[in-house]
Amino acid sequence: MLYLLGVVVIALGILISVSLHEAGHMLTAKAFGMKVTRYFVGFGPTIFSFRRGETEYGLKAIPLGGFCKIVGMTPQDDDVDPADEHRAMWRYPVWKRTIVMSAGSVTHFALAVIAIWLAAMFMGLPNRDLPNPLPAHVAVQECVIPAAEVRECAPGDPVSPAKQAGLRDDDEILAVNGAPVADYTALVKAIRDLSPGQTATIRYERDGVQGEVQAQLAAVQRPPLTDPEAAPVTVAALGVAGPKLPPGVPANVTYGPIEAIPATADYTGSLAVGTYEAMKRIPEKVPALWEAVTGGERDKDTPISVVGASRLGGEALEHGVWQLLVILFISLNFFVGVFNLLPLLPLDGGHIAIAWFERARSWIYARLGRADPGRVDYLKLMPLTYAVILVGGAFTLLTATADIVNPITLFSR
């Protein structure tokens, strides 16, 4: 039941976000005097509708988005009533059209920022003062898993060398065989550089007091550190997990309403950088998605669709990690806001780019003493628009299929 509730919450959150996106277009268009004839939530057959003034509002059967109809978005629109010619959107100044077309993305950004600000006060944001990288504080495991697989300890698994040696959770490993280790990654490398079965001297610090133990390292099968996709090889293992936060250091910090403002700005900046990096990697992730669809292992770093986001939301709520639903809502809104501003038709960013291209071209022609070349013919851009729709549709279908047949999971089921 909780899983289904999480799926519904994320799906409903996406639907509301997209509906508000279209409302942003509608409200700004009306504010400038443009004529908006229709505003609907969903697609397909109409469930109900009503008219207020010159606009018809309604709900359609397929809850996969929404739309609003602004009269005369392009000069080629042939459904503009002669009485409405002066209110056609393309006749308005470019700055007004830019505001209207960007209002959808601005709405997504506003939803994300407000959610971050509320999260900062009631849920907490990642601690900005954490040391980076984290020192090698560890969690001592009960056993070591001999094979390269993810599972719980089972009868017959070797006892963790760290546990046998007397190490405890939260101990900070300082050195291995006298060689200092600065962080958990350095600790793993130092252990891997030794031989299975070798006895290692582990210097640690616990409650401010340093000590040393002798640990006979176990033999396990793991992929090489330099190539996680390669076949597993036999390496040494200490039987610890990490990195753990230093004792008493919180992973998340909550703020008051005023203190939450700079924290929100900082988190938003990090989110912007992460979104940019993720979008750059999308083309190279297509082969990994195809591999996941055709039976290969699903890479957790591959993109997800609405289906995948909803499933992750269900998983999160099922395991009591409701905070992940908030993070998903924030990330999805920010990503959609950025993506929608890409200068490609039929995205809003494509319309904005054309509007400013027209404005720049008119300015240049005026300076050259030549006649204004007029507006861009959208009909000539239709092949490119169809290509974008085809590629985008294929990618969406691929990600949705991967999310159905081979979904990303965050917890063992």
> 360 in the Ramachandran plot: left (φ > 0), alpha (ψ -120 to 50) or beta?
alpha
Residue 217 has pLDDT above 80, yes or no: yes
Residue 285 has pLDDT above 60, yes or no: yes
Distances from the Cα of 252 to the Cαs of 121, 166, 328, in angstroms? Answer: 11, 30, 17
Q: Give the model confidence (pLDDT) of 38-79 as tens digits.
A: 999 988 899 999 999 999 999 988 887 888 999 998 888 878
pLDDT of residue 27: 96
Say which range, 92-106, 179-193, 203-217, 301-315, has the weakest mean pLDDT: 301-315
Q: How many CA atoms lie within 13 A of 81 on its CB side?
A: 8
CB-CB neighbours of 381 under 10 Å: 17
Residue 352 has pLDDT above 90, yes or no: yes
H or E element in which residue 206 lies: strand 199-206
Q: Give the model confidence (pLDDT) of 359-405 as tens digits.
A: 999 999 999 989 988 889 888 999 999 999 999 889 989 998 988 88
Position 411 confidence tier, pLDDT thresholds 50, 70, 90:
low
Averaged pLDDT, 335-351:
93
pLDDT of residue 413: 46
Residue 150 has pLDDT above 80, yes or no: no
Distance between CA 255 and CA 264 in Å, rounded?
10
| pTM, to two decimals | 0.81
Structure tokens at 185: 């990654």
Distances from the Cα of 381 to the Cαs of 145, 377, 378, 388, in angstroms? Answer: 58, 7, 5, 11
Averaged pLDDT, 253-279:
92
Say which range, 104-113, 177-186, 246-255, has the weakest mean pLDDT: 246-255
**Three-state SS across 137-178?**
EEEECCECCCCCCCCCCCCCCCECHHHHHCCCCCCEEEEECC
Active-site residue flag, 22: yes
Q: Which is the catalytic residue, given 22, 172, 315, 358?
A: 22
140-146 contacts, C-beta under 8 A, 24 or more apart = 140/167, 140/168, 140/169, 140/171, 140/239, 140/240, 141/239, 141/240, 141/241, 143/239, 144/218, 144/220, 144/237, 144/239, 145/220, 146/218, 146/219, 146/220, 146/221
Higher pLDDT: 109 or 408? It is 109
Averaged pLDDT, 20-33:
96
CATH classification of 137-244, choosing from 2.30.42.10, 3.50.50.100, 3.30.460.30, 2.60.40.1120?
2.30.42.10
Domain ranges of the chain: 137-244
pLDDT mean across residues, the chain? 89
Q: Give the model confidence (pLDDT) of 28-49 as tens digits.
A: 999 999 999 999 998 889 999 9
Distance between the two ends of the chain, CA-based, in angstroms?
Answer: 15
Position 7 confidence tier, pLDDT thresholds 50, 70, 90:
confident
Position 232 confidence tier, pLDDT thresholds 50, 70, 90:
confident
Distance between CA 349 and CA 239 in Å, rounded?
52
Residue 95 has pLDDT above 50, yes or no: yes
